[in-house]
């Protein structure tokens, strides 16, 4: 059951290769052009998204909705087309359209600019110079597209499983290599992959569904699906329309249940194992309550093997969830509970109970996998890194956690802290009380000094002394003002934290 | 002893409290609007009898410390394009220098007898202030009113100017990675100098800088705000040190402003999170307009002091009071509008924490295409 | 300015005619590319606004024809199926501007204004 995703530069033989492979195998062929058509039918304003890449130096932030819908549409298309598990997709950034799904084959194609220019001259009837200009500009546009839509660059080698250079290879042979690779066991969609794909599909469906429903179309929603349960987070100002979300999602194909959580913002909490009774849980939920945030849990397994096995076992015990029967409302326990999910589902339940859940899921891997897993739904105001890389030594795990934090911060553009720092930075404890006291005293002292000795100070700043030592005022101000601002802002920051405003 | 240093006013308890209040209102406004706040504090202090230049100098000193603390916090969110900041900074320094030069020239160029000393600078600052901010406020208001009822995606910042300039393609073009824009060096210089000049003159550089980055360069809003704050730190420092060198910084005023502003900023920022975008822009432009009216009313007074128009000096009091009234009306009503919203949502949030719906979908017949 | 609008959806031409004639432009609207092309051969237009996806002929062909016949005429492409590839191709082949449907009238007004400015600049 291979899913082959082919990405090539424009006029770089991607279409021909895909067609050749499809003829060889009989697998379903799907192209980006068809997605474009579909977008038009669905009412997604893809054309605005596309032209804005060319026309604006920066992409308008308010096209983010179109971007999300486009990605949802692509995801929906893949899983709906690959029902029998076979799919050859080709087109712009094809290798990036199924991030985080293990078992798909992501292929890149390289051909020289000269080859492509020849082709453009014939196909578009352009003189050589113009053809070159066209391709160079278009390549630049596409790079921009990949950066904006997929948060990637086309040059990242790790985003490909296979890169074929067509310079010294016939299309026929390339197609053969591709076929031989695609049938390898490594590129069979695992049960884990299939489930992830189904969830992705469900979330995408829900997103498009909600966007097309007039009652919910204008809303800013965070959507995630895990094991058939759709979690939707919405902003407090949208509270009135929240009921329509559940209503709109009722009866959505494949949706087991849906949970709506109101949140001003989202916090992503990444940890290796969760415990709803632990100290960290209290801290994070306390913070979430204060911010009006929903918490999304991500269980990151740095070892990798475990989850795979875990899912395999599930399969043999309870079967994939797609074969569930009509239960008349009496449902089996959630399949994931209890088995090696290290407290994840328990913690999610707890968060649901206090109204702070934005869903939870597991992945295995490192930074790359985390980014792939969350970038579709990325609106976090904070990322919390809990205990990670537990099997490594203390120093190693600290270093790895720090590195992970740096990468997430850069790619997801959200502040990252560790759960240890969380305590001191966002919550109020005994240490903070002492700190507050100290800074209050310092503030008093500074203000008292300045206002008791106004005349000499003003003399330096603008009186007779000033005319003698002009630079003294500058130096004094440069040193003194930051100190005052820092000391006093620490005081106000801490005080407002006590009363829950930050 | 209060006349030891002529340029600085005597501060009694009531003046001190008024300055703290000014700082608080300025803080709320600047937290809410994103930058600025000085547009309220500068004229506010002038109304309390502080000379214009000293009001501006103390304000820019205030901004320096504030931005230093704030930009550190914002830098962590990755919203600061340091390269862009550097370019704007260099050109802004030229602008500030220009402003400081003109201001001190006008201040010292006063005829030197009594009330008219400083009137030239006062008039000049008031004129620039009125002109620039009425343009900003009116275009903002027009934007809000024009887009009324359209909740659609066209309510975002207009790209017309940025697009037109991008098409101009005036070399050399410079690419900024974090903000992801290409901007011509010449346009950069122009905007930078203008920003610096206005910052140095009326202390509201950010008010020009942020919209300029959004509308002229096409920088995303978040990055524009972050970069501006980073910039404000340097520009504030430069302005503060230059003014201090000239002997115009009254540290007492700066410190009293901090007392109010650092509390206000938190509340203002909180307000932005809980109020919708259109309301934000509407409140903002109304506040600025009232401020502008206030300053415009004071202009005849300065004109008289310079001997440019013939008017009964006894009327000064009235002009001053009316001007003061409008200023306080603008700041206080704006702050109240914001604070009411802050308090309301603060209480609401406590109430709605339990509001959650779990809906199990009624049909559990699942078909995922695989039977 | 003399403007020709070609779009196989009649409503597009009608809507543009109604609003742009108010601005003082003279508009001729077509739904048939062949007829439009004939008209372009007869008369010199300042601006040609053309859809891309049509039955007999596509907008790119119209663009190429106009560039050949009337070099000064500015061509503005409008389409609901805009992709980077098509937009780039149009611009490479000398389109003056490219506007994605659905668009607001002010966008097309802006493009026409720019075309007018460009024509003016060429004259001087």
CB spacing of B359 vs A331 below 8 angstroms: no
pLDDT of residue A88 exceeding 90? yes
Least confident of A305-309, A344-348, B243-247: A305-309
Q: Which two tokens stand for residue A6?
A: 């082919």
Establish if C114 touches chain A: CB-CB under 8 angstroms.
no
Contact B25, B267 (CB under 8 A): no
Question: Is residue A488 a contact partner of residue A443, using CB atoms and an 8 Å limit?
Answer: yes
Give the model's confidence band at A333: pLDDT under 50 very low, under 70 low, under 90 confident, else very high: very low
pLDDT band of A427, cuts 50, 70, 90: low
Nearest by CB to A141, which of C81, C84, C100?
A: C84
User: Cβ separation of A327 and B252 shorter than 8 Å?
Assistant: no
A25: how many CB neighbours lie within 10 A of its CB?
18
Give the structural domain span for A267: 192-324+331-426
ipTM of the complex: 0.89
Give the minimum alpha-carbon distance from C75 to chain B in angstroms, rounded to a whole number: 17
Confidence (pLDDT) at C30? 92
Interchain contact, C104 vs B160, CB within 8 Å:
no
Which residue, C63, C76, C67, C65, is CA-closest to C113?
A: C76
Q: Mapping DSSP to helix (H, G, I), strand (E, B) and coil, where does residue A108 land? A: strand
Nearest 5 degrees, angle CA A408-CA A410-CA A411? 65
Q: Is C106 on the interface with B (CB under 8 A)?
A: no
Shared domain for A412 and A486, answered yes or no, is no
Contact yes or no for C89 and A134 at CB 8 A: yes
And the tokens for C22? 């108010």
Q: Single out the residue of B226, B257, B224 nearest to residue B61, CA to CA.
A: B257
What is the DSSP code string of A228-289? Answer: TEEEEEE-GGGGGGHHHHHHHHTT-TT--EEEEEE-SEEEEEEESS--TTSHHHHHHHHHHH
Name the pLDDT band for A362 (thresholds 50, 70, 90).
Answer: confident
Nearest to C92 among A48, A51, A126 (CB): A126
Q: Do A57 and B218 touch (CB under 8 A)?
A: yes
pLDDT tens string B288-328: 788 788 778 877 777 777 777 777 777 777 877 787 788 77
Listed in order, strand segments (DSSP E) in chain B are 173-176, 181-184, 356-360
C51 in helix, strand or coil? Answer: strand
Residue B369 placed within a domain: no
Kindly give, in sequence order, each residue whose CB lies less than 8 Å from that of residue A5, ignoring residues fewer than 6 positions away. A89, A90, A94, A95, A97, A98, A104, A105, A106, A107
Q: Which of A379, A404, A426 is the last residue of a domain?
A: A426
- Nearest C-alpha neighbor of A289 from the set B73, B28, B356: B356
Contact list in C for residue A126 (CB cut-off 8 A) is 92-93
By C-alpha distance, which of A378, A246, A233, A377 is closest to A292? A233
What is the total count of domains within chain B?
A: 1
Kindly state whether residues A156 and A278 are assigned to the same domain: no
Separation between Cα atoms, residue A351 and residue A372, nearest integer Å? 24
* Structural contact between residues A193 and A78, judged by C-beta atoms closer than 8 angstroms: no
CB within 8 Å: B218 and A262: no
* Residue A64 in contact with partner chain B when CB distance is under 8 A: no
Q: Spell out which residues of chain B touch residue A293, defining contact as CB-CB under 8 Å.
A: none
Confidence category of residue A307, pLDDT binned at 50, 70, 90: very low
Q: What is the mean pLDDT of residues A371-393?
A: 78
User: Two tokens at A465?
Assistant: 């002394």
Q: Which chain A positions have a beta carbon within 8 Å of C99's beta carbon?
A: 51
- How far apart are the CA of C79 and the nearest CA of chain A, in angstroms? 8
Question: Minimal Cα–Cα distance from C48 to chain B, Å?
Answer: 21
The Cα–Cα gap between B48 and B36 comes to 20
Tokens at A322, concatenated: 């797609």
Which residue in chain B has the smallest CA separation from C97?
B167
Residue of A nearest to B10 (CA): A454
pLDDT band (50, 70, 90) for residue A172: very high
Element holding A417 (H helix, E strand): strand A416-418
Q: Note down the domain range covering C55.
A: 2-123
Handedness of CA B62, B68, B70, B71 (dihedral sign): positive
Do residues B263 and B27 touch, judged by C-beta distance below 8 A?
Answer: yes
Residue B2 lies inside a defined structural domain of this protein: no
Would you call A259 and B345 a contact, using CB atoms and an 8 Å cutoff?
Answer: no
The CATH number of residue A349's host domain is 3.40.50.620
Which of B296, B295, B264, B261 is closest to B19 using CA atoms? B261
pLDDT of residue B361: 35
Domain boundary among A408, A426, A444: A426
**Residue A160 binned pLDDT confidence (cut-offs 50, 70, 90):** very high
The length of chain B, given as a count of residues? 371
Q: List the single residue in B with minimal CA-CA distance to A486.
A: B69
Mutation site for C-interface testing, chosen from A10, A43, A47 by largest number of C Cβ within 10 Å: A47
- Using only C-alpha atoms, what is the Rg of chain B? 23
Contact C80 A40 (CB under 8 A): yes
**Does A253 lie in the same domain as A285?**
yes
- In this complex, is the C-beta atom of A355 within 8 Å of any C-beta atom belonging to chain B? yes
CB within 8 Å: A47 and C88? no
User: Residues of A numbered 292-321 whose beta carbons fall under 8 angstroms of chain B's beta carbons: which are they?
Assistant: 292, 320-321
Q: Which of B34, B29, A240 is nearest to B42 (CA)?
A: B29
Residue in the block written with tokens 């050109």: B91
Portion 146-165 of B in contact with C at CB < 8 A: 154, 160, 164
Report how far residue B299's alpha carbon sits from residue B296's, in angstroms, rounded to the nearest whole number: 5
CB contact under 8 A, A257 and B358: yes
pLDDT digits (tens, 9 = 90+) for A190-237: 887 888 888 888 888 888 888 888 777 767 677 878 777 787 877 666
Report the alpha-carbon distance of residue A203 to residue A228 in Å, rounded: 9
A291 and A181 co-located in one domain: no
d(CA A52, CA A63): 9
CA distance B214 to chain C (A): 19
Q: How many domains does chain A have?
A: 3
Closest in A61, A147, A451 to B156, CB measured: A61
With the C-alpha atoms ordered C104, C105, C106, C107, is the resulting torsion angle positive or negative? positive
Alpha carbon distance A3, A99 (integer Å): 13
At B200, the pLDDT band (50, 70, 90 cuts) reads: confident
**pLDDT of the residue at B101:** 82
SS3 call for C97:
strand
Taking the C-alpha atoms of residue A200 and residue A82, their distance in angstroms, rounded to an integer, is: 13
Q: DSSP label at B2?
A: T
Strands A293-301 and C2-6: unpaired
Query: What residues of chain C lie within 8 A of the CB of A51, using their CB?
Result: 82, 87, 98-100
Contact of B13 with chain A, judged by CB distance below 8 Å, is answered with no
Angle at A273 between CA A267 and CA A277, to 5 degrees: 80
Which residues make beta-bridge pairs with A266?
Answer: A294, A380
Q: How many domains is chain C partitioned into structurally? A: 1
For chain B, positions 168-227, list CB contacts with chain A under 8 A.
179-183, 217-221
All residues of chain C having their beta carbon less than 8 Å from the beta carbon of residue B160 are 110
- Beta-carbon pairs below 8 A across chains B and C: 3
- pLDDT tens, position by position, B222-256: 677 778 778 778 878 878 888 888 888 888 888 88
b (16+ CB within 10 A) / e for B98-117: ebbebbbebbeebeeeeebb
Strand, coil or helix: what is C50? Answer: strand
Least confident of A256-265, A275-284, A379-388: A256-265
* HEC per residue, A279-304: HHHHHHHHHHHHHCEEEEEEEEECCC
Q: How far is CA C94 from the centre of its chain?
A: 12
pLDDT confidence of residue B186: 84
> Which chains would you list as touching A if contact means 3+ CB atom pairs under 8 Å?
B, C
Determine, for residues B241 and A478 on separate chains, whether the beta-carbon distance falls below 8 Å: yes
Counting as contact any 3 or more CB pairs under 8 A, the partners of B are: A, C
A159 and A213 in a single domain? The answer is: no
Judge whether A481 and B65 are in contact, CB under 8 Å. Answer: yes
Whether residue A56 is found in the same domain as residue A129: yes
Distance (Å, whole) CA B5 – CA B19: 20
How would residue A327 be classed by pLDDT, with cut points 50, 70 and 90? very low
CB B248 within 8 A of CB B59: no
Q: Which of C51, C67, C83 has the highest number of chain A CBs within 10 A, making it the mutation to test binding with A?
A: C83
Q: Which residue on chain A is closest to C60 by alpha carbon?
A: A124
In this model, does residue B17 exceed pLDDT 50? yes
Chain B residues in contact with A461 by the CB 8 A cut-off are: 8, 244, 247, 249-251
Nearest Cα to A54, choosing from C87, C15, B164? C87
* CB-based contact, C80 to chain A, within 8 Å: yes
Instruction: Give the pLDDT confidence score for residue A337 in this predicted structure.
Output: 38
Please name which of B207, B213, B167 lies closest in space to residue B188, comparing C-alpha atoms: B213
Cβ contact, residue pair A51, C93, below 8 Å: no
Query: Do A347 and A298 reside in the same domain of the chain?
Result: yes
Q: Does C105 touch chain B (CB under 8 A)?
A: no
Contacts with A146 from chain C: Cβ below 8 Å: none
Instruction: Identify the pLDDT of residue A377.
Output: 64
CA B368 from chain centre, in angstroms, equals 56
Domain that holds residue B158: 13-354
Burial of B242 (0-12, 13-18, 19+ CB in 10 A): buried
Write out A20-66 in H/E/C secondary structure. Answer: HHHHHHCCCEEEHHHHHHHHHHHCCCHHHHHHHHHHCCCCCHHHHHH
Residues of chain B neighbouring A500 (CB-CB closer than 8 A) = 346
SS3 B211: helix
**Residue C83 and residue A50: Cβ atoms within 8 Å?**
yes
Q: In C, which residues are within 8 Å of B154 by CB distance?
A: 104
Residue B60 forms part of a structural domain: yes
Torsion of the alpha carbons at A58, A64, A65 and A67, rounded to the nearest 10: 90
Query: For position A262, what pLDDT does the model report?
Result: 67
Average pLDDT per consecutive 10 residues, chain C (124 residues; last block may be shorter): 90 89 91 90 91 86 88 89 89 91 84 90 83
**In chain A, what percentage of residues exceed pLDDT 90?**
15
What single DSSP character describes residue B183?
E
**Segment holding A147, helix H or strand E:** helix A128-150
Q: Looking at the structure, do residues A174 and A196 belong to the same domain, yes or no?
A: no
Neighbours of C18 (CB within 10 A): 11
Helix then strand then coil, % of chain A, to nearest 5: 60, 15, 25
Q: Which pLDDT belongs to residue A326?
A: 41
What pLDDT score does A142 carry? 92
CB contact under 8 A, A253 and B368: yes
Cα C19 from Cα C25, distance rounded (Å): 9
User: Which pair of tokens denotes residue B153?
Assistant: 């995606």
- pLDDT, one tens digit per residue, over B129-186 is 788 778 877 877 777 776 654 444 344 556 566 666 666 666 677 777 666 677 788 8
Chain A hits for C93, CB-CB cut-off 8 Å, are 126, 130
Q: 0.95 exceeded by the pTM?
A: no
Of A154-163, A348-357, A425-434, the range with the highest mean pLDDT is A154-163
Note whether A213 and A320 are same-domain residues. Answer: yes
Q: Which CATH number fits the domain that encloses residue C35?
A: 3.40.50.2300
Flag the least confident range among A121-130, A174-183, B17-26, B207-216.
B207-216
């Amino acid at each position: 059951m291979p899913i082959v995703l082919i990405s090539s530069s424009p006029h770089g033989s991607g279409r021909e290769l895909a067609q050749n492979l499809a003829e060889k195998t009989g697998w379903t062929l799907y192209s980006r052009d068809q997605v474009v058509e579909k977008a038009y039918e669905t009412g997604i304003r893809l054309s605005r998204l596309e032209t804005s890449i060319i026309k604006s130096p920066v992409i308008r932030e308010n096209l983010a909705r179109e971007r999300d819908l486009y990605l949802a549409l692509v995801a929906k298309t893949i899983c709906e087309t690959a029902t029998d598990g076979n799919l050859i997709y080709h087109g712009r950034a094809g290798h990036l359209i199924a991030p985080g799904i293990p078992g798909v084959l992501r292929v890149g194609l390289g051909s020289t600019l000269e080859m492509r220019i020849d082709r453009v001259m014939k196909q578009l009837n352009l003189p050589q110079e113009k053809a070159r200009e066209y391709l160079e500009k278009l390549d630049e546009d596409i790079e921009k597209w990949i950066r904006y839509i997929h948060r990637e660059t086309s040059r990242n080698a790790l985003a490909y499983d296979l890169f074929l250079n067509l310079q010294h290879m016939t299309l026929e042979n390339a197609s053969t290599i591709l076929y031989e690779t695609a049938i390898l066991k490594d590129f069979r969609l695992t049960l884990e992959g299939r489930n992830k794909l189904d969830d992705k599909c469900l979330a995408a469906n829900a997103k498009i569904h909600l966007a097309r429903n007039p009652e919910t179309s204008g809303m800013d929603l965070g959507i995630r699906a895990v094991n058939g349960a759709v979690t939707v987070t919405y902003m407090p100002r949208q509270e009135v329309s929240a009921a329509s979300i559940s209503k709109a999602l009722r009866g959505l194909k494949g949706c087991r249940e849906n949970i709506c959580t109101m949140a001003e913002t989202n916090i992503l909490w990444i940890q290796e194992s969760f415990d709803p009774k632990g100290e960290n849980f209290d801290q994070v939920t306390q913070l979430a309550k204060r911010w009006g945030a929903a918490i999304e849990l991500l269980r990151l397994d740095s070892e990798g093997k475990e989850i795979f096995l875990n899912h395999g076992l599930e399969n043999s015990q309870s079967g994939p969830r797609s074969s569930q029967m009509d239960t008349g409302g009496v449902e089996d326990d959630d399949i994931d509970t209890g088995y090696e999910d290290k407290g994840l589902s328990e913690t999610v339940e707890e968060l649901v109970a206090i109204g702070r859940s934005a869903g939870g899921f597991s992945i295995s891997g490192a930074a790359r996998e985390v980014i792939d897993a969350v970038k579709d739904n990325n609106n976090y105001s904070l990322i919390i890194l809990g205990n990670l890389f537990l099997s490594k030594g203390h120093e190693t795990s600290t270093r790895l956690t720090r590195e992970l934090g740096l990468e997430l911060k850069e790619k997801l553009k959200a502040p990252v802290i560790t759960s240890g720092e969380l305590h001191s930075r966002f919550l109020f404890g005994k240490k903070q009380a002492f700190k507050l006291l100290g800074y209050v005293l310092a503030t008093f002292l500074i203000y008292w000094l300045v206002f008791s000795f106004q005349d000499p100070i003003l003399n330096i700043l603008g009186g007779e002394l000033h005319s003698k030592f002009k630079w003294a005022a500058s130096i004094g101000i440069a040193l003194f003002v930051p100190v005052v601002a820092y000391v006093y802002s620490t005081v106000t920051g801490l005080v407002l934290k006590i009363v829950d405003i930050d | 002893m209060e006349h030891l240093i002529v340029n600085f006013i005597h501060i009694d308890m009531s003046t001190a409290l008024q300055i703290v209040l000014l700082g608080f209102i300025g803080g709320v406004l600047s937290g809410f609007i994103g930058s600025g706040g000085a547009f309220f504090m500068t004229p506010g202090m002038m109304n309390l009898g502080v000379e214009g230049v000293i009001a501006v100098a103390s304000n820019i000193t205030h901004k320096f410390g504030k931005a230093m603390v704030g930009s550190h916090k914002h830098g962590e969110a990755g919203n600061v394009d340091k390269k862009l900041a550097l370019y704007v900074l260099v050109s802004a320094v030229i602008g500030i220098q220009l402003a400081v030069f003109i201001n001190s020239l006008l201040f010292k160029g006063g005829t030197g007898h009594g009330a008219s000393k400083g009137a030239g600078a006062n008039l000049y600052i008031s004129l620039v202030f009125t002109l620039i901010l009425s343009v900003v406020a009116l275009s903002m208001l027009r934007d809000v009113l024009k887009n009324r009822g359209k909740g659609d995606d066209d309510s975002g910042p207009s790209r017309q100017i940025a697009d037109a300039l991008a098409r101009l393609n005036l070399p050399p073009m410079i690419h900024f990675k974090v903000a992801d824009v290409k901007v011509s060096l010449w346009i950069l210089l122009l905007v930078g100098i203008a920003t610096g000049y206005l910052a140095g003159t009326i202390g509201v550089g950010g008010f020009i800088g942020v919209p300029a980055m959004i509308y002229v360069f096409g920088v995303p809003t978040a990055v524009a705000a972050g970069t501006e704050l980073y910039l404000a730190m340097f520009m504030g420092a430069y302005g503060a040190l230059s003014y201090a060198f000239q002997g115009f910084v009254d540290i007492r005023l700066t410190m009293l402003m901090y007392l109010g502003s650092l509390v206000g900023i938190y509340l203002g920022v909180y307000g932005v999170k809980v109020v919708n975008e259109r309301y934000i822009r509407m409140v903002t432009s109304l506040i600025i307009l009232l401020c502008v009216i206030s300053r415009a009313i004071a202009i005849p007074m300065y004109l008289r002091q310079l001997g440019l128009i013939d008017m009964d000096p006894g009327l000064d009091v009235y002009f001053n009071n009316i001007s003061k009234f409008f200023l306080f009306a603008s700041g206080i009503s704006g702050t109240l509008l914001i604070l009411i919203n802050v308090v309301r949502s603060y209480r609401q949030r406590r109430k709605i924490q339990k509001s959650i719906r779990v809906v199990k979908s009624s049909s559990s017949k699942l078909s995922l295409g695989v039977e | 300015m003399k403007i020709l609008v070609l779009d196989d959806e009649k409503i597009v031409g009608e809507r543009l005619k109604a609003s742009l004639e108010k601005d003082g432009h003279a508009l001729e609207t077509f739904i048939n590319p062949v007829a439009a092309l004939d008209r372009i051969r007869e008369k010199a237009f300042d601006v040609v606004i053309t859809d891309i996806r049509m039955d007999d002929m596509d907008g790119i062909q119209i663009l190429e024809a106009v560039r050949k016949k009337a070099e000064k005429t500015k061509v503005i492409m409008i389409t609901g199926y805009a992709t980077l590839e098509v937009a780039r191709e149009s611009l490479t082949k000398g389109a003056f501007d490219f506007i994605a449907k659905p668009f607001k009238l002010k966008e097309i007004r802006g493009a026409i204004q720019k075309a007018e400015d460009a024509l003016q600049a060429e004259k001087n």
